[in-house]
Structures are given as structure tokens and as C-alpha cells.
Amino acid sequence: MIKAQDTQEIVARRYAKAFINVFGNTMTIDELHAIKAFEQFVNEHKRLLVFFMLSQIDDATKQQQLDAMLDSFKLKKLFHPLSQLLLKSKRVFLLPRILKQIAVLYKQAKKIIECTITSSHELNAQALSTIQNFLARKTGCAIIYTNRVDKNLIAGLRLQGDTVLWEYSIRKQLRQVALARTH
Amino acid sequence: MEIKSTDLVSLFERSLQGLSQTSLQEVGIVTQVGDGICKVFGLNNAIYGELIQFEGGNSGIILNLDEDSVTIFLLHATIPVAELEVAKRTGNVFKTPVGMSLLGRVIDASGKPLDALGEIKVDEYRPVEARIPQIIDRSPVNESLETGIIAIDALIPVGKGQRELIIGNRNTGKSAIALDAILHQKGKNVFCIYVSIGGRQANLARTIRLLEENGSMEYTTIVSADAGEAVLNQYLAPYVACTIGEYYRDHGHDVLIVYDDLSNHAIAYREMSLLMRRAPGREAYPGDVFYLHSRLLERAGKLASGGSITALPIVQIQSDDITAYIPTNLISITDGQIFLDAKLFNRGIRPAVNIELSVSRVGSAAQTKAIRKMTKALRLELAQYHALLDFAQFGTELDEVSQKILARGAIAVEILKQPQMVTYNFVDQALILFLLKENFLEGLDIKNVRVFVTQFVSYVRSVYQDEYAAILQTEDISDEMRERLLIIAKEFNKLFIAPDMSYTE
């Protein structure tokens, strides 16, 4: 027994796979960033998708609006065939899930790891570059990173990707001590 | 103090430089939590049954692998898991601590002590899903494991390495039988494990007190997963207990495991399966519920290299219906069943063992010679008695033979009655059954039968110690011994004064 949410996930993944099969080789890192930004936008404004499901609005208008949205993220060219298909099959509501899956599959195909470098203190460009190179060497993947400072680490670094984690911080050691005491 | 970022980076890099990629942590992100279950995105290389650690301190076991996520059941209901929390692989399946120091202890399904007796000295950690002993490693079940309950040892004998199901309605004395069997193992070099699955804490506390008061805790380990614990713990508890039992067995000991009860275990697994959205089948149980119990009970058995695990699983039924899904599964898995009848229980026949519906597939191979000789015709006599009893209820006038069968059957039923926490060794049982077989109880008032047999046993034990010791040693009642016992019984018959008679005098 599969619930509706899981079914949607499966269908979205199929669309994403098909998209990657066709456009995977031509897609760029910038477009990946744009896809992520668009996904975030769609997730934050889910109400917009309702308009694409209203039968009173004709398909031409819907397509026009969708293209306008995609264009503002510089994705019109890449996503036009997919948007057409989704409108035709009345599955625009799947768009956020499809975008998420596309990003995941693209990163898998191109061996890209998105990583958040969290440090207790501000890191300079050279340090960040050292970490990036270090991670690339260790994982054999291209690294896209975002940097943030978290004083809660007390002292140390935490590198967190989708599926990997490196942490070397005082907070981690304190957490381990606390866990050892409670168990 | 100002820390230079370059120092920080080089420190970090230095600490990781020596590590290979495989030793680095593989993680996933919690995307969904609820009902003791969570979905984690990532953990791409995780394996089925792997133990996962959450940053918040909880842990869980992977029980479903999807394309880009895994389903994890949480071990601790009280430690919260948040969405987007990091879950780390441990690279290990769930393991339980084992060791001789677990004797006399009460632990939960994760091996943590519940008895406030301090830390447990662990000899090793073993995976809870272990390899089942192969045919070549096993030896036939031919050694008796006394339960101390005459109705069972005489008619439905349990052997070392056997799986004997205890089945019955609620409140028919299922746990009482299992606990009596544990109490009876005192001084017999059999280690016992009692597993409480989905039970009440008050009941468990009573059980612990009972075992302590009778000095049975020193050879017993209790594994508890009460109704308030995470469903995963209830699912794991019997496997944990079996793993501990295997450790004892591998050290050459005989082990008795009581699973109290597997209905609750099946219910816990059903809950888990439904939460995992696995297809429900009959009574909403998943398709692999048979395998759930068969792989557990197949771990019992007697090894050729020494050591055995005897399993006494308990299953509860509704309205005496043994054809329900889980009971029929367990009946087919086990080597026999002890059926406890609510009607017998309410009539005061305790233990309420229904002889007709109970069976031991090992049969007399697991009986001592002495008992075997004394019980040859007992089952048949009881069957005839029950058949005639139904007939007699219509008020039909019965012939002399039938009346004799009824009288003898009533005596047999009377001697098979046994109070809780009173157990007999095989010599006592053989002596009691001897009296029945040789018709010494005929003519006695039914209410005096119990007194007669008890006093006879104690008479032989105290006055004829040599004879008693000979039976104990040879485990047999030879023809000469029979002759001797006939003389003793005749002698005792003359000496016996029924309690009501002594009162009137």
C-alpha cells in the first residue's frame, strides 16, 4: 500500500530521470544553482501552483505565465519542454518535487557534492579553498560549498554534505561526553 | 583569544589526513518523523538492519531501503528526533551484550540493566540475527527437560532442545506453567531466560519477586520490553534473549527460554509493518509474519557439541480458538503444544491442560524410563474418561466397566492437579503415577487422593531412601523395583489415615 505522497514522489522522480537523460549533459552548474533557487521560490509560493490547475484559465495563458517565471530564473530555455509536458498532463503541482529530484540526480551524475562549511570563526578565501581542495581530494567529487559561521561549535569545523559529514569541534566532543553520561 | 582560521583548517586537515574515505562518516538527513519511525534521506550505502545513530542521541535500525531514503525504527521513545537532524551510519548491525554476568539480571532489549544492580560486565557483543545451527550441528531431542508439572512431564514431555508452545485464553495459567518450569530448574544446571514482550510492568515486577523469593534469579536472565516501550524494542526482545541463550549454549549449558508472549510480538511487528506501509495480509499481519517466528524458534535445538536451547513460546488466543492466524503458525513451527482450557481452569482443574488437544511431537523419547513405564496407558484412559464423562452427563445408566473407567479417570484427573509453585522431580512423579497404575488409589475418597499420593512420596523419600535413590540414579523402575514398591505401597496403605478420618477420631 503506497500513499498518495509516495506516488507523487515516484512520478516526480520519473520526470526528473527523463529530464536528466535528455538535458543532463548540457546542463551547467549555474543552471543547477538556478534550479535550486527556483525550487526554493516555488516551495515558498506554493499557492502560485493553484493557478496552473484552474480549468478556467486556458493553457496558453498558463504556459505564458510559467515561461515568465522560468525566465526570471534564466531557466526558460532549459525547462520549456518540461513545462509544456507538465501543463499538458496537468501535473504542474509536481514541479517542486521534480526540481528537487533533478538537482539530486544531476549532482549524482556529475559527482558533485554540495557542502556547508560551518566554522566557529570567519574563514578567509584561502582557508575555504584549502578545505574545498581537501574535500575534493578525499571524496573524488567536485565540491560546491556555502560558508557560515556558527559560534555554537565553540572551536572547530563542521563540513556537511547531503550524504557525508566531517566534524572536528569542541561541541562534538562535548556532545559525546553528554551522550556517554546519559547512556 | 583570537584563533587564526588557517590554524583551524590545518588542525582539522591534520586530524583527517590519516583517514581513508571509508572511515569518514556517511550521513543522512531526517525528512520525516512520527510514531517511532523516521525517514532519512541519504545513507546511500546503508544496509538492511544497520544501526543508525542520531546526533540528538537516539538510535534506530534500518528496516526498509528505498531508492533515495531509508526507513528507520527508533530504539528510544523518549529521546526526540527532529526533522533535518543528521543520522550517521555505524557500519554495524544491532548487537546485544552477552556474558555470564547477565545471569540474575533484568535488562531491556538494548541490553541496558533495569534492576539498579549496576553495570553489567559484558563478555562480548553479538548480532541479534544470528546464523541458525545447521542440520549437521544438531543432535536429536532425547533428553528430558523436567518442568516439574506432572501433567506435562507424564503426558506431553518436553525434551532439551524442543520448542513447545503454551497456548490458551487469557488468565488460564500460561505464564504460571512457564514460571513453574523455570523454578523447577533450580540445581539442574539449566540457565533460564524469561522474555516479557508487551506485558505490564506490574506483572513483570511480580515475576521478578517470585523468582527472587524462590532463589531462581541466580540462574535466570529477564529481558523486558513492556507495553510502554518503543515498538522496535518489543520486536527485538525475543531475538536479544535468544542471542543471550546462544551464548550460554555455546559454553555448553542447557538453556530454557520462555517467550511471554509471541502474540504481542506479532502485534508489534504488525504495527511496524503497517507503519512501513507493507502490504497487510490476513488479520492485517504482513506476509512475512511466519518467518518472524520461524527464524526465532529455529534457533532453539540441541547441539551435537553440547548445550541446548529449549523454547517455551506462549501465545494467547481468543475464545479457545486455536485456528487464528498466529496460533496456527506457531503450532506448525513448534514441536508440540500445551493447550490450556478455560473450561477446565474454571472447573478448578489446574494446570488446566487439555490432554486431547495437547501434544509433544518428541514424545516418549524425551521421557525418563521410569515415567515412560508408568504412563503407558494414561493418555488412553484419560481419553476414555473424557468421552464417557460427556456421555454420563445425559444421566444414562452406565455399566460396571464404564463406571470403573469414570472412577479411575476422576482419580487420574485429581493426581494431575498441581498447585502453582509446587513442582515434582521425576522420581516423585513416577511414584505418584505408580500408585495410579497399580490401582492403589481405587476406593479412596476423591478428596483424599492428593493427600495420599503426597504422603506416599514423602514416606518413600524418608523411610526407603535407598529405593528412592536407586530410582533417581537409574532413572528407571525395574521389575524388582516394582515388586519392592508394591510392598511399600501396601505397607503405606495400611498406615494411611485420611485427614477427615483423623479429624473425626
Interface of B with A in 83-122 (CB under 8 A): 86, 88, 112
Whether residue B503 has pLDDT greater than 90: no
| Residue B68, pLDDT score | 80
Q: What percent of chain B has pLDDT over 90?
A: 78
Mean pLDDT (whole number) for B429-435: 95
Does B327 lie at the interface with A, CB-CB under 8 angstroms?
no
Cβ neighbours for B301, distance < 8 A, ≥ 6 positions apart: B133, B138, B141, B161, B308, B309
> How confident is the model at residue B504, as a pLDDT?
42
- The two beta strands, B165-168 and B308-316, are parallel
pTM of the model: 0.86
Q: Which contacts qualify for A147-152: CB closer than 8 Å, 24 or more apart?
A: A147/A116, A147/A117, A147/A118, A147/A119, A147/A123, A148/A116, A148/A117, A148/A118, A148/A119, A149/A118, A149/A119, A149/A120, A149/A121, A149/A122, A150/A118, A150/A119, A150/A120, A151/A120
C-beta separation of B321 from B348 below 8 A: no
B437-479: pLDDT as tens digits: 999 998 888 989 999 999 999 999 999 999 999 999 999 999 9
Contact residues, chain B, for A167 at CB < 8 Å: 25
Which residues of chain A are under the pLDDT cut of 50? 1
Q: How far apart are CA B71 and CA B278, in angstroms?
A: 12
| Higher per-residue confidence, B391 vs A112 | A112
Q: Which CATH number does A111-182 carry? A: 3.40.30
B325 and B382 share one domain = no
Q: Which domain holds residue B426?
A: 373-504
- Per mean pLDDT, which range of B3-12, B97-106, B316-325 is the poorest? B3-12
Is the per-residue pLDDT at B179 higher than 50? yes
β-partners of residue B463 are none
Q: Considering CB atoms only, which of B8, B27, B68 is closest to A164?
A: B27
Q: How confident is the model at residue B505 (pLDDT cuts 50, 70, 90)?
A: very low
Are the CB atoms for A126 and A38 separated by under 8 Å? Answer: no
So what's the pLDDT on residue A160?
86
Active-site positions of B?
361
In-domain check, residue B2: no
B285–chain A nearest CA distance, Å: 13
Is the pLDDT at B432 greater than 90, yes or no? yes
Same domain, B246 and B318: yes
Residue type, B430: A
What pLDDT is stored for residue B87 in this prediction? 94
B23 pLDDT exceeds 60?
A: no
| 3-state SS assignment for residue B290 | helix
Distance CA B107, CA B225 (A): 9
Q: Based on the structure, what is the number of domains in chain B?
A: 3
Q: What is the CATH number of the domain that holds B32?
A: 2.40.30.20
Domain A4-108 has CATH 1.10.520: yes
pLDDT (0 to 100) of residue B421:
92
Average pLDDT, chain B: 91
ipTM strictly over 0.85? Answer: no
Choose between B395 and B412: higher pLDDT: B412
Dmax over CA atoms of chain A, in Å, equals 64
Domain stops at, among B93, B128, B151: B93
Establish, for the pair of chains A and B, how many residue pairs have beta carbons separated by less than 8 Å.
84
In this predicted structure, what is the pLDDT of residue B329?
96
Instruction: Please tell me whether residues B176 and B155 are part of one structural domain.
Output: yes
| Phi, psi (deg, nearest 5) at residue B355 | -65, -35
Q: Is the model more confident about B202 or about A76?
A: B202
Q: For residues B84 and B108, state if they share a domain.
A: no
| pLDDT at residue number A1 | 41
